[in-house]
Amino acid sequence: MSSPADTAAFPYEGPEPLREPLAAALARVVDPEISMNIVDVGLVYGVTVDAAMAHVRLTMTSAACPVIDLIMDEAEAELDKVVPPELQIRVELVWEPPWSPERMSAGARKFMGW
């Protein structure tokens, strides 16, 4: 699978020293339905960090996903380990653009046999 430092996995805007820790935190969150991390699955649409907040945009493979709350909670818990305490954390669920298998890392597509 991709390395947590694979900075091309999702758009990032913010302080460079936080890029890798945030990517690594998100890569520790696993979609239990397919046993792969949310970065490799392509569920992370972007991360923006400013002076007040770390904002992460996530999607799911389907609106019927039964583990949405679990993934959202785990993402927030992992981010809380690396985000400076003065910053708020916002994990936002988005549906546009819709997820597609093309968003998966090459390693994830190979793992799934695509």
Per residue in 14-71, pLDDT (tens digit) is 999 999 999 999 999 999 988 999 999 999 999 999 999 999 999 999 999 999 999 9
**Residue 42 amino acid letter:** G
What is d(CA 44, CA 11) in angstroms, rounded to the nearest whole number? 9
pLDDT recorded at residue 8: 58
96 CB neighbour count, 10 Å cutoff: 6
The CA-based dihedral angle spanning residues 70, 95, 26, 32, taken in that order and rounded to the nearest 10 degrees: 40
108 neighbors 43 (Cβ within 8 angstroms): no
For the chain, domains (ranges, CATH) are 7-100 (3.30.300.130)
